[in-house]
Amino acid sequence: MISCDKLPIVSGADELTGHVQEFQKDPLALFQRAAREAGDIAHLRFGPYPFYLINHPEYIERILVHDYKKFIKPSMNEWRQLLGLGLITSEGERWMRERKMIQPAFVPRRVNDYTAMILEKTRAISRKWQDGKSLDLFEEMKKITLSVALQAFFGYKTTFDFEIVTASLQRIMDYIYDVNANPQKSVNDPTRLAAFEQDIQRLDDMVYTIMQTKQEEAGPEEGEDLLSMLLVKAKEEDHPIGPQQIRDEVITHLIAGYESTATSLAWTFYLLAQHPEAEAALLAEMERVLAGRDPEPADIEKMYYASGVFAESLRLYPPSWSVVRMAAEPFELGEHHFPKGTQVFMSTYVMHRSIKYYDNPDAFRPERWSGGLGRQLPTYAYFPFGGGPRICIGRGMAMLEAFLVIVTLYREHRFTLMPDRPVEPIAKITLQPRTGIWMTVEKRKTSNLSGVGL
């Protein structure tokens, strides 16, 4: 076996800081360059500390699936301040217990029962749009997905100040990213730390108020939402859970369930607005399959092009653009040996745009998925929801929600990109549009035959 430190360091490393400055400026460009230059395993540095970008599906599968017990999630201090010991931040036996406890909330039957609610929330937001006016589709998608998440995870029809909640969430995510992107944590100043803690307190106040109200009004009865299920667990004698753990789980799923879905939806609308032929094909499929009725979960299997649109959006702009693990014990990849403590990155953004696996990889081509591409690819050449035992537990709900929102909004509206508002991706916690995605929104004229907008 060859020691991993024998791998040549990717070019451009500063003598003192390594690749830190390039990573902070544009991690997507750095990772793509590193993959082109080094191939399957790219050796980079953060200051004096090495880390490795893994660019081979077989190696990614080994880390996430076969040897997953050898790896943990690194740099979780700030995440634990926010999420406590929820499903994302826990490890080992605790994680396995929590995954088993939470899983019933995401089985297909429960997820499919959210269909009417998702449609209602989508239309409630879109009814506020003024015909012919411009708006930021990223912010509008966050309104929809946050409304859906509150209903699905809390089951409590509360009113909330969208601007305050989303602003708190955005500041929290920006702070966590900035601190973890800088090994010396130079941005960890007292003012930002205090604001970070205040934003967490706002979320705590909201969660505990909803919990208390739910218990006072009806008691912890088994319901379809996650909070109801956890409140029932709190009464069990074998493995009771306390308010803190309930809080940790619902905060975890609120944050994981709303922003990533909103981001993927925003990028989908952006791509469709740039490709009128894809929009026309989507509308034709909607008319053929739905014939004017509301979409249902079973329609996902019938609407191949719509499924391809979202799969292609997740390929080009995966919200979770990178997966990070730290070795809890030594491991091997190919002919190389890696010691305990090694940090590895696996970038969905890089793998999804690899010329090795995709013809014309930077092009938006939903039809590429109609020929069974997903079955032909190596498993970890496409992994927008992660993989292995820690694959995203809410992926089924995310797919259903995205399908329903896309079909519902495209049936009723036409979206045109504003030419003077350029769109640029920025790799933060999720892969977001730096200044939003601004579009002019117009109501479609309705067909007399099907109800699908023309």
HEC sequence for the chain: CEEHHHCCECCCCECCCECHHHHHHCHHHHHHHHHHHHCCEEEEEECCEEEEEECCHHHHHHHHHHCHHHEECCCCHHHHHHHCCCCCCCCHHHHHHHHHHHHHHHCHHHHHCCHHHHHHHHHHHHCCCCCCEEEEHHHHHHHHHHHHHHHHHHCCCCCCCHHHHHHHHHHHHHHHHHHHHCCCCCCCCHHHHHHHHHHHHHHHHHHHHHHHHHHHHCCCCCCCCHHHHHHHHCCCCCCCCCHHHHHHHHHHHHHHHHHHHHHHHHHHHHHHHHCHHHHHHHHHHHHHHHCCCCCCCCHHHHCHHHHHHHHHHHHHCCCCCCEEEEECCCEEECCEEECCCCEEEECHHHHHCCCCCCCCCCCCCHHHHCCCHHHHCCHHHCCCCCCHHHCCCCHHHHHHHHHHHHHHHHHHEEEEECCCCCCCEEECCCEEECCCCEEEEEECCECCCCCCEC
CATH of the domain at 368: 3.30.43.20
pLDDT surpasses 70 at 142:
yes
pLDDT band of residue 447 (cuts 50, 70, 90) is very low
Give backbone dihedrals phi and psi of 208, rounded to 5 degrees, phi first: -70, -30
Q: How far apart are CA 313 and CA 336, in angstroms?
A: 34
* Mean pLDDT over the full length of the chain: 90
Within-domain flag for 338: yes
Q: How many domains does the chain have?
A: 1
pLDDT band of residue 52 (cuts 50, 70, 90) is very high
Within-domain flag for 363: yes
Within-domain flag for 231: no
Q: What number is the average pLDDT over the span 81-106?
A: 88
Q: How far apart are CA 64 and CA 81, in angstroms?
A: 25
Are 409 and 272 in contact, with CB atoms under 8 Å apart? Answer: no
Within-domain flag for 354: yes
Within-domain flag for 438: no
pLDDT surpasses 50 at 452:
no
Higher local confidence (pLDDT), 311 or 101:
311
Q: How far apart are CA 189 and CA 227, in angstroms?
A: 35
Helix pair 243-274, 190-217: axis angle to 10 deg: 110
For residue 188, the model assigns a pLDDT of 58
Q: What number is the average pLDDT over the span 204-232?
A: 77
For residue 180, the model assigns a pLDDT of 73
Cα end-to-end distance, the chain, whole Å: 63
Tokens for 355, please give them: 């010329």
For residue 448, the model assigns a pLDDT of 37
For residue 446, the model assigns a pLDDT of 62
Give backbone dihedrals phi and psi of 90, rounded to 5 degrees, phi first: -80, 160
Q: pLDDT > 90: what percent of the chain?
A: 65
pLDDT band of residue 85 (cuts 50, 70, 90) is confident
Q: What number is the average pLDDT over the span 15-42?
A: 95
Within-domain flag for 196: no
Tokens for 335, please give them: 């002919």
pLDDT surpasses 80 at 184:
no
**Domain assignment of residue 20, given as a range:** 1-75+321-383
Give backbone dihedrals phi and psi of 238, rounded to 5 degrees, phi first: -70, -50
pLDDT band of residue 221 (cuts 50, 70, 90) is low
**Which amino acid type is present at position 327?**
A
Within-domain flag for 403: no
Q: What is the pLDDT of residues 413-443, one digit of tens each?
A: 999 999 999 999 999 889 999 999 999 999 9
Within-domain flag for 254: no
pLDDT surpasses 50 at 450:
no
Q: pLDDT > 70: what percent of the chain?
A: 92
